[in-house]
């Protein structure tokens, strides 16, 4: 696992805000109370520790039927691990009724890696004489200069117990406390720690000299900074156009709720659009369900890497505390996020979610070239931005939900940070690990994200149609052979709905409500417009594929089930066999037509590292778009007023 616990920027949460809505995230009091109730039940040993705690969301009908001011019950889901049992636990606690509702000991997989696991790893590594001896062989004797990087293992070392709580560790060397230690990897050295037993196994593949060329990116360490960029200020003298009430956001005709959960990170709920006074739902819930980062380099230092940065590393707990003018620009509203600590206390990440507006160029325009007396009409596009930035070890992921004035919704992921590297000496790298700096190669890898989209297009009963464009056969209706058409196919079962991208066919997937029609008599809908991306490229029999089968298809569709939140094993993906999530859900081959459905979309980037990515990678983008198709009877952005500069 790659983690960044030391820079979370957390402080004790003294908030006493009471939840006003069933989907409001857990308060510090609720998390601490739930942890105390579970400890007080006597079901955990004194060594039991929490990985995370979060709202056990009520059933959908309870949420959609909620009226402000009505009482509602609150339940907290607690995930953790108990070394005395050598097992992880999954518990539901009612903080309303102050009782433990259920506790399950997990048989396959373990709780995600927590702050406590990381510090335990550091202690075990520091005590390991074999680790110190391996470093000494490389001329490294001052252990205070060694950065220990934790990695989820995927599998256990052959010498470890079958139920070991395992973490791997890699090493990098500092020259001074604030340098880029990733430029100095210790090649050929991996440690396996059993956190329950307190043992460490060292694998040493031979001494390779540590590189010496610095690779600094901090402003005070870059030799010369540009000085010819003039200030660019974003101002809204009358304030922003959005309104915030707790975790409810209203902007233009949009309304939505947000939260940050430990595994998924940023979640948006109950997305609605006000269509001339008609409250029209679009999405009930949308979030990252999990992701996988498989590495394509077969070397001993990288072949095993297939990190699940949500399920194993808890993406949501690694949310940055954002800074005005750096991470977000403009008139900003921030949301904080409260975490449960391993000992049952709480931490507050301030400014975890950024909310602001952005100008986005032209929304629509037309110039009447045949009558110059007619004034050209142009409207500016504006979007609402809800975002987080999450640091998972050497990588940063920015998650950006965009809501546009024309009814479009977009998810954009911005990938940056520092690439994983190996020392190759005089070699020129390989096809699987190209050179990025003298003596340093970086392995090819993928970042594949699976988003869970619980649609609610004008109501719960929805269907998914696959839309392809195909050429028309020559004939009476196509005498010149130039015609082509859009063809729809309803995906009626879970097995039918396992689908792949087809850019050559202009493929997209349309979510429709067959029970609600527009003025043309066609079902209202939204289409999922994918970006071209490679599928999972690991071999079919590899551990990577076995554990990430959700990434074998770009689209899955399942009927809604309250407990089917994750594409794989969710918070128990760590050391899981792979027999969980979408492959298991869809074995039932349930009906997916005209019912309450969930769409799962997998996409991402295949990163072939380049010198320009070193020592820190410029942002690479991926994502998808949800566009209204027949949801409105005409352009919903006709009523956007021209900006003050148009017509001057």
Q: What sign has the CA pseudo-torsion 231, 234, 238, 243?
A: negative
Q: Could you write out the DSSP letters of every residue in 385-446?
A: EEEEEEEETTEEEEEEEEEETTS-EEEEEEEEE----EE-TT--B-SSSBEEETTEE---EE
Q: What are phi and psi of 166, to 5 degrees?
A: -105, 140
Q: Which helix (H) or strand (E) holds 451?
A: strand 445-455
Is 395 annotated as catalytic?
yes
Q: What is the rounded distance in angstroms from the CA atom of residue 196 to the CA atom of residue 230?
A: 56
Give Cα 426 to chain centroid, integer Å: 38
- Count the Cβ atoms, other than its own, within 10 Å of residue 584: 14
- CA angle, 60 as apex, 59 and 65 as ends, to 5°? 105
Check: CB of residue 518 under 8 Å from CB of residue 524. yes
- Structural tokens at position 261: 């959960």
Is 309 annotated as catalytic?
yes
Nearest to 111 by CA among 157, 143, 76, 78: 78
Q: Which of 24, 82, 309, 613 is catalytic?
A: 309
Q: Which of 395, 397, 526, 566 is catalytic?
A: 395
Q: What is the rounded distance in angstroms from the CA atom of residue 568 to the CA atom of residue 275?
A: 37
Question: CB burial class (10 A; 0-12, 13-18, 19+) of residue 184?
Answer: buried
Instruction: Look up tokens 């950065």; give the residue.
Output: 147
Q: What are phi and psi of 118, to 5 degrees?
A: -65, -45
Q: What is the rounded distance in angstroms from the CA atom of residue 354 to the CA atom of residue 359?
A: 16
Residues ≥6 apart with Cβ < 8 Å to 261 = 25, 54, 55, 267, 287, 316
Residues annotated as part of the active site: 309, 395
């Amino acid at each position: 696992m790659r983690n960044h616990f030391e820079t979370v920027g957390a402080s004790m949460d003294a908030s006493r805000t009471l939840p006003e809505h069933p989907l409001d995230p857990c308060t510090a009091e609720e998390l601490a109370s739930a942890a105390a109730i579970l400890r007080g039940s006597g079901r955990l040993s004194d060594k039991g520790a929490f990985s995370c705690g979060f709202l056990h969301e009520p059933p959908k009908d309870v949420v959609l039927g909620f009226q402000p001011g009505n009482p509602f019950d609150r339940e907290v889901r607690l995930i953790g691990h108990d070394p005395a049992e050598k097992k992880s636990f999954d518990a539901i606690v009612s903080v309303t009724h102050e009782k433990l509702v259920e506790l399950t000991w997990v048989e396959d997989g373990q709780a995600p890696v927590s702050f406590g696991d990381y510090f335990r790893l550091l202690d075990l590594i520091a005590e390991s004489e074999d680790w110190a001896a391996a470093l000494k062989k490389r001329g490294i004797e001052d252990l205070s200069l060694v950065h220990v990087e934790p990695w989820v293992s995927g599998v256990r070392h052959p010498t470890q117990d079958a139920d070991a709580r395992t973490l791997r560790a890699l090493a990098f060397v500092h020259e001074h406390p604030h340098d880029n230690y990733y430029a100095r990897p210790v090649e050929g050295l991996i440690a396996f720690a059993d956190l329950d037993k307190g043992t460490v196994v060292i694998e040493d593949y031979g001494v390779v000299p540590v590189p010496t060329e610095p690779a600094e990116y901090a402003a005070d360490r870059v030799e010369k900074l540009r000085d010819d960029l003039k200030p660019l200020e974003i101002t809204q003298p009358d304030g922003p156009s959005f309104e915030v009430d707790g975790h409810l956001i209203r902007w233009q005709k949009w309304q939505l709720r947000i939260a940050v959960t430990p595994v998924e990170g940023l979640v948006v709920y109950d997305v609605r659009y006000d269509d001339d006074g008609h409250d029209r739902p679009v999405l009930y819930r949308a979030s990252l369900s999990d992701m996988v980062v498989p590495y394509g380099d077969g070397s001993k230092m990288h072949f095993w890497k297939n990190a699940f940065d949500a399920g194993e590393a808890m993406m949501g707990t690694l949310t940055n505390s954002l800074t005005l003018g750096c991470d977000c620009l403009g008139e900003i509203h921030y949301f904080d996020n409260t975490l449960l600590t391993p000992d049952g206390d709480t931490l507050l990440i301030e400014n975890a979610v950024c909310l602001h507006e952005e100008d986005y160029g032209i929304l629509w325009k037309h110039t009447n070239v045949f009558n110059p007396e007619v004034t050209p009409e142009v409207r500016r596009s504006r979007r609402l931005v809800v975002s987080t930035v999450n640091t998972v070890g050497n990588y940063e992921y920015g998650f950006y939900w965009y809501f546009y004035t024309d009814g479009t919704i977009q998810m954009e992921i911005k990938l940056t940070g520092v690439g994983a590297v190996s020392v190759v000496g005089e070699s020129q790298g390989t096809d699987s690990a190209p050179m990025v700096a003298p003596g340093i190669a970086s392995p090819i890898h993928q970042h594949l994200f699976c988003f869970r989209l619980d649609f609610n297009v004008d109501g719960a009963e929805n269907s998914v149609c696959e839309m392809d464009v195909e050429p028309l056969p020559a004939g009476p209706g196509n005498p010149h052979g130039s015609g082509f058409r859009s063809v729809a196919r309803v995906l009626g079962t879970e097995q039918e709905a396992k689908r792949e991208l087809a850019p050559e066919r202009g493929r997209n997937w349309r979510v429709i409500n067959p029970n609600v029609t527009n003025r043309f008599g066609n079902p209202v809908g939204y289409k999922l417009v994918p970006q071209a991306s490679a599928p999972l490229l690991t071999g079919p029999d590899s551990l990577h594929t076995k554990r990430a089968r959700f990434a074998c298809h770009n689209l899955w569709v399942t009927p809604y089930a309250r407990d089917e939140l994750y594409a794989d094993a969710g918070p128990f993906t760590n050391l899981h066999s792979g027999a969980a999530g979408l492959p298991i859900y869809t074995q039932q081959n349930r009906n997916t037509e005209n019912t309450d459905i969930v769409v799962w979309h997998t996409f991402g980037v295949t990163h072939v590292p380049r010198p320009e990515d070193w020592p820190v990678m410029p942002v690479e983008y991926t994502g998808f778009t949800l566009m209204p198709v027949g949801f409105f009877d005409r352009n919903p952005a006709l009523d956007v007023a021209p900006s003050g500069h148009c017509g001057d």
